[in-house]
Structure 1
Amino acid sequence: MHGYDEQVSYRIKLSEESSSGLRAELYAICKVTSQLIQGVAGAEPSFREVYTDTGQRQIRFVLNQDSVVLEPGILSYACGALQFEVVQQQQGNFFQRAARSSGGGESAFGTRVTGSGEVWTEPTRKHFVFGTMSPGDSMLIDDRAYYAAQGSLKMSIHTHARVQGVLSGNGLMQPRLDGAGLFVIESPVSVHEVEVLDVQPGHTVTLDGDMMLMYSASMNPRIGPLVRGLRNSARSGEGLVYTLQGPGQVFLTPTAVAVGSLA
């Protein structure tokens, strides 16, 4: 019988992140073939396994008396002393992809897994970013990016107070995470291509909202023309841009806009 720490041969672990009793592991799914190796004369030939990356990725969550809240529909299988429940977040404060097809972009439901054991998500060609938050941290996430979060994190919906928020690539409302714990988000590019900007107090960062993956909730977002005046705005060729006021961190995916992921 296989224990939880043993991996089947077609999965190769790429990275992992831990927080308290939860560990998230990212795997590449590979095609495995046997290659004949001809030794010196008179020696017996041998075989070696050759791994070819299929481009598919899969996540394993290992729980030790902890919990994780999954976006609905991503569970592949699980084993261990685990309990499952469909949780309803009050006041409409939970995003998930299933409702986006209906145009709402918002759902009140999630799947909470609690106990000790392992949970595997469905294989996908998406990229993933693991992150951990400390007490007092708050992050706003692109509404297409949320995937899973440790049960210790508070999930809610942040509503932009300014009307300009409706015009941004992230819409009027965004998922918000508060507290301490581990979270996983989907990214259009590899984690190696994600650029992190540390914005100092009094400084700003100006960018195309489509390349923004997440940012500190302490920042004050607004959207508007790059330069004032209709004529100047037309001459700049930039149209409307997203501006964030420091202090805080901004996570960008600059390679995704033009060419998609390079990985």
Structure 2
Amino acid sequence: MRSSLNFTNKLSMLSEMENDSKFQILEYSSLNGATDVETAFGLNIINKSGIKLKQIRIILENSEVKLEPGALSYMKGDIDIKSKIGGVIGLGKKILTSKLTGETTFKSTYTGTGEIFLEPSFGHFALIELEDDEIIVDNGLFCACEEGVEVGIESQRNISSALLGNEGLYQTKIYGSGIVALEIPVPENEIFKCILIDDTLKVDGNFAILRTGNIDFSVEKSSKSITGSITSGEGLVNVYRGTGEVWLIPTKSIYDDIRNKGFDSMTKPSREMNTEV
């Protein structure tokens, strides 16, 4: 590549992954562009709290990537943009996927040599490289991928998971070979990447956001007997079986409670427990 955008004084690199293209997760050191008191006050809280603005950078070297529509912020270089419909059958599949998963119908393709920056976000990102493999992720997590990766749908395989699993009837399936960028609900270092080897994982709650394609998902009673299920106080659990990997985000519920109920809600269970003891 003949030239490169100079971002070294503005952003630091959190992670990088390279295949045909290079994907980077960048982070702004701070935001200092306030021009009024209200914005300055908000930025002061953001900076002091350690909340960082992040952005995905993709470097193309005569290669091709697909982006979720609306994800592009800006780009530089000799890059062509197009949408691949794939004929009537391809169009039908894309529309069906969009209706069932909530993902957008057409994902634009960017081909050539240059640099692409996605829209910045205060959220969190993760990079995954697939090698003739597939992952099932929560709908809405997909951001971008390389040419050799496809995005489709995965239907729940049994009635219990479809009706009781809180995942919906369909989830997003990402498969093939290449790098995938996801926007995730919590920092990647707070994700528990549980590896199963012909084993079973039972989760009390809906905080598994990713599983490899050879992991079966179902919903079951937490105890084999109805009485046991009632006395345990847990009821139903999400069950993952097989050999592969499941990503769990147990800290997400903590953030939700603080946001919706306030920080005081986090201390009430322990006080009540102490009172009972």
Confirm or deny a common fold (TM above 0.5).
yes
Q: Report the RMSD for the aligned CA atoms in angstroms.
A: 2.7
Q: Does the 8 A contact of 1:221 with 1:244 survive in 2?
A: yes
Alpha-carbon shift at residue 189 of structure 1 (Å): 0.9
1:68 alignment partner, one of 58, 65, 69 = 65
* Greater fraction strand: 1
Q: Deviation string for 1:7-46 (max 9, x for gaps)? A: 2522222211111x2111111123377xxxxxxxxxxxxx
Code of the residue aligned with 2:24 in structure 1: it is: E
1:191 aligns with 2:188: yes
Code of the residue aligned with 1:26 in structure 2: it is: I
Q: Which runs of 5+ in 2 are unaligned?
A: 33-46, 257-277
* Greater fraction helix: 2
Aligned positions of 1:49-68 closer than 5 A: 55-68=52-65
User: Cα distance 1:94–1:253, how it changes in 2: closer, same or farther (>3 A)?
Assistant: farther
User: Cα distance 1:209–1:84, how it changes in 2: closer, same or farther (>3 A)?
Assistant: farther
Aligned positions of 1:198-217 closer than 5 A: 198-201=195-198, 203-208=199-204, 210-217=206-213
Q: Does the 8 A contact of 2:103 with 2:140 survive in 1?
A: no
Q: What residue in structure 2 maps to residue 45 of structure 1?
A: none
Q: Does the 8 A contact of 1:78 with 1:117 survive in 2?
A: yes
Q: Does the 8 A contact of 1:94 with 1:175 survive in 2?
A: no
User: Cα distance 1:163–1:60, how it changes in 2: closer, same or farther (>3 A)?
Assistant: same
User: Cα distance 1:6–1:183, how it changes in 2: closer, same or farther (>3 A)?
Assistant: same
* Inter-partner Cα distance in structure 1 for 2:96 and 2:18: 24
**Could you say what secondary structure the match of 2:227 adopts?**
helix
Aligned positions of 1:138-217 closer than 5 A: 138-166=134-162, 167-201=164-198, 203-208=199-204, 210-217=206-213
1:226 aligns with 2:225: no
User: Cα distance 1:132–1:226, how it changes in 2: closer, same or farther (>3 A)?
Assistant: same
Aligned positions of 1:19-30 closer than 5 A: 19=19, 21-30=20-29
Q: What residue in structure 2 maps to residue 40 of structure 1?
A: none
Q: What residue in structure 2 maps to residue 6 of structure 1?
A: 6
Higher mean Cα deviation, 224-233 or 61-70?
224-233
**Could you say what secondary structure the match of 2:251 adopts?**
helix
2:74 alignment partner, one of 73, 77, 80 = 77
User: Cα distance 1:250–1:175, how it changes in 2: closer, same or farther (>3 A)?
Assistant: same
Q: Does the 8 A contact of 1:95 with 1:105 survive in 2?
A: no
Report % sequence identity.
24
Code of the residue aligned with 1:31 in structure 2: it is: S
Q: Which runs of 5+ in 1 are unaligned?
A: 34-51
User: Cα distance 1:159–1:113, how it changes in 2: closer, same or farther (>3 A)?
Assistant: same
User: Cα distance 1:170–1:8, how it changes in 2: closer, same or farther (>3 A)?
Assistant: same
Q: Deviation string for 1:146-199 (max 9, x for gaps)? A: 111111112221112212232323211111122210001111111111111111
* Inter-partner Cα distance in structure 2 for 1:229 and 1:197: 27
Q: What residue in structure 2 maps to residue 49 of structure 1?
A: none
**Could you say what secondary structure the match of 1:164 adopts?**
helix
* Inter-partner Cα distance in structure 2 for 1:171 and 1:25: 31
Q: Does the 8 A contact of 1:82 with 1:114 survive in 2?
A: yes
Aligned positions of 1:65-144 closer than 5 A: 65-88=62-85, 90=90, 91-93=92-94, 105-135=102-132, 137-144=133-140
* Inter-partner Cα distance in structure 2 for 1:32 and 1:220: 44
Q: Deviation string for 1:104-137 (max 9, x for gaps)? A: 62432112111111111111111011110113x1
